[in-house]
Chains A and B, each alone.
Chain A
Amino acid sequence: MDQHWSQARRVFAALFTPPALFLLAFFLVPIGIVWLYSFGQNVSLTEIAVTGTTANYTRALAPLYLGILAKSAWMAAAVTGLCLIAGFPVALAIAFASPRLKIWLLLMVMLPFWTNLLIRTYALIAVLRDEGYVNQGLKLGWALAATLGTHTSAFQPLELIYNNFAVMFGLVYVQLPFMVLPLYAALDRMDRSLLEASLDLGAGHLRTLWSIVLPLAMPGVVSGVVITFIPTVGAFLTPDLLGGPDSQMISNVIERQFKRANDWPFGAALSFVLMYLTFAGVALQALARRRIGARG
């Protein structure tokens, strides 16, 4: 089975060529054009001249945009952290569930994928808004408590939507499966006898979790963090729909350059600044992987 690809060149070529051409034509070429645009300037409403100017990057690296980038990165880091905290116990529970139950639990994690992101986000609006399900429920409780004579004041709805809390809540909700699945994959592969050994040798459950389970799950944690963090930095739908006047993220700015502002070169430069940072992040992950690999 462990045959090297050079021993079956033709099979390899036949299998590899179509996807490679597809990637070239529909991913690398378009992205290359956008990359060229980032060194261009608008000469008319519809034409861009690639002049090699770096003015777009200079503008993209101004404090205003770096600040928005930093804010997006901070939001994404917070969302990733929350996903990790919420996702780890879930992944652990699935990994240790009976095989029958495991399938159902995994299905429940993946079920939201079957619904379009937009529809899920609108559903969240219905839950979080001032007259939404949460506030309606609280209002009912408030009214019941009032009949018991605990208070007489009017119910003030919680401000759950159109602020940064709502954006973070929405992003955690959307990204959680991306964290749970790699964690589950790592935990499921774990050698159970190591846990038994740890418990036999006198370590408590928490100690075992911290010293045995967590290090073994580390590759899953790293993958989960990367595939949660990257799309979150680039999120624009959630801050658009759930955010308030303060919730702008970098992708909202990029989207506006391509649409309303009709300033493609600047939008391209902003996109590529984000992409360079993403590449740097992936490179760091690869380094971290190697270190974990070397240690293990």
Chain B
Amino acid sequence: MLIEQWLKGGSRRSLLKGLGVAAVGLSLGGVLDACTKGAGAPSTIRIPGGEGPKLNFYNWDTYIGKTTLGDFRALSGVDVNMSLFATNDELFAKLRAGNPGYDVIVPSNEFVTQMAEAGLIEPLDHARIPNFENIAPEFRNPSFDPGRKYSMPYTWLVSGIGYRKSKVDGVPDSWKWLFDSDRYKGRIAIGSEAADIIRLGAKYLGHSLVGVTPEVAKQVEAMMIRQKRNIKTFHEDDGQNLLLAGDVDLVHEFNGDIAQVMKEDADIGFVVPKEGSLLNSDGLCIPKGAPRPNNAHAFINYLLDAKAGAEISQTILYPTPNAAARALMPASYKDNPVIFPPSDALMKCEFGRFEGSEKQHMFEEIMTRIRAA
């Protein structure tokens, strides 16, 4: 899978790397020194429980700060051993048969719900994660994990429309151009994730992303079957590359992915459609049977620290839910309208929620029917 990731030009995690890394790196040092002196950053982290200086961290590729793990070892003495997964399916399949020894994992929002329901992750002890107060209020009580019982927010993303400015009229700020119009026939690519397509179709038709009924799903199916002849392909989360290569002019993708190619090509834009869209968020969780839960809590708390969070954002340049960390970042990051779309656009967006296997099977079968039609 690694080679596939590489050939596709990196996963959505590896994006944004080019996005002003140099500028951020130059200006951040001084800012951090100034800010953290007053904040009283810990000089050492003492972890009760005596689990030994080790921690197994199962993470996405290129999804951690350059010095984060080294800094944590310097503070706590705990040596973090990081291994990588490429998709949530892979993570779920690996833990399905029993935890092979991971202490901290990073599933996306819907998988947080799914894994909690399957009993694959442990509730977190909030008393041991005081840095939770750094998190922006809108990420503190999400529908997919009420009260943040199982997960701490690490990053977030929003899907929208990436487009080639010179090939479209104005800003294509509606899902209509992707789902319900032949205006851009043959120049459209849509993601291949069944649940995302059907829920976004429902959103376009004026319904919520959550609780899509079979009737609404049926309407979306009919619409997508009508639209199919105008769609060039269902992409495998590499829509930004199709847009960059000129294969399509409109693509359904995550903001982070489009922000990366915008760096290479000024003719590319991104918009969160006016009907609203789907929010995603990756969370830090402790899998059931984790051998070192105390170290895991300390590590999660450290990742939510303002300075540590800024160091991570500086490397991965993904939208951060950490308000304190964002405050430490330069304007090129924190005021970037693609990384942080305007709040009136985000107001209409919702987190996707895992709503049980039956629904997932229904979505998959609808997608099979759309493709077979």
Give me the interface of A with B, judged by CB distance under 8 Å: 42, 44-46, 64-65, 67-68, 71, 116, 118-119, 122, 129-131, 159, 161-162, 240-241, 243-248, 253, 256-257, 259-263, 266
Give Cα A177–Cα B118 distance, bound, in whole angstroms. Answer: 46
Give Cα A116–Cα B6 distance, bound, in whole angstroms. Answer: 14
Q: Is B126 an interface residue (CB 8 A)?
A: no
Contact indicator B357/A130 (Cβ below 8 Å): no
Contact indicator A262/B357 (Cβ below 8 Å): yes
Q: Is B361 an interface residue (CB 8 A)?
A: yes
Find the A residue at minimum CB distance from B3.
Answer: A118
Q: Which of B7, B186, B246, B372 contacts A119 (CB 8 A)?
A: B7
Find the B residue at minimum CB distance from A159.
Answer: B186
Which residues of B are found within 8 Å of A244, using beta-carbon distances?
231-233
Which residues of B are found within 8 Å of A162, using beta-carbon distances?
232-233, 247
Contact indicator A245/B233 (Cβ below 8 Å): yes
Q: Is B368 an interface residue (CB 8 A)?
A: yes
Q: Is B228 an interface residue (CB 8 A)?
A: yes
Q: Mark B224-241, 1 if CB is under 8 A from A, else 0.
A: 000010011110100000
Q: Is B71 an interface residue (CB 8 A)?
A: no
Give Cα A256–Cα B360 distance, bound, in whole angstroms. Answer: 11
Q: Is B355 an interface residue (CB 8 A)?
A: no
Contact indicator B245/A131 (Cβ below 8 Å): yes
Contact indicator A45/B364 (Cβ below 8 Å): no
Which residues of B are found within 8 Å of A159, using beta-carbon distances?
186
Provide 9 A-B residue pairs closer than 8 Å at the C-beta atoms, listed in order of the A residue: A45-B117, A46-B120, A64-B365, A131-B245, A159-B186, A241-B236, A245-B228, A259-B87, A259-B93
Contact indicator A245/B7 (Cβ below 8 Å): no
Contact indicator A257/B364 (Cβ below 8 Å): yes
Give Cα A159–Cα B372 distance, bound, in whole angstroms. Answer: 21
CB B98 to nearest CB in A, in angstroms, measures 10
Give Cα A253–Cα B114 distance, bound, in whole angstroms. Answer: 22
Which residues of B are found within 8 Å of A260, using beta-carbon distances?
89, 193-195, 360, 364
Contact indicator B118/A253 (Cβ below 8 Å): no
Q: Which of B4, B360, B370 contacts A261 (CB 8 A)?
A: B360
Contact indicator A130/B247 (Cβ below 8 Å): yes
Q: A45-B118, A119-B7, A130-B246 are in contact. Are A261 and B361 (CB under 8 A)?
A: yes
Which residues of B are found within 8 Å of A131, using beta-carbon distances?
245-247
Contact indicator A263/B364 (Cβ below 8 Å): yes
Which residues of A are found within 8 Å of B370, using beta-carbon distances?
245
Contact indicator B236/A44 (Cβ below 8 Å): no
Find the B residue at minimum CB distance from A130.
Answer: B247
Q: Which of B193, B357, B369 contacts A45 (CB 8 A)?
A: B357
Contact indicator B371/A262 (Cβ below 8 Å): no
Give Cα A71–Cα B364 distance, bound, in whole angstroms. Answer: 19
Q: A162-B232, A260-B89 are in contact. Are A44 and B118 (CB under 8 A)?
A: yes
Which residues of B are found within 8 Å of A122, using beta-carbon distances?
7
Which residues of B are found within 8 Å of A71, using beta-carbon distances?
372
Give Cα A65–Cα B93 distance, bound, in whole angstroms. Answer: 25
Besides A45-B114, A64-B372, A256-B368, 7 more A-B contacts (Cβ < 8 Å) are A45-B118, A64-B365, A67-B372, A131-B245, A248-B368, A257-B364, A262-B357
Contact indicator A68/B368 (Cβ below 8 Å): yes
Contact indicator B368/A64 (Cβ below 8 Å): yes
* Contacting residues of chain B (198-257) with chain A, CB-CB under 8 angstroms: 228, 231-234, 236, 245-247
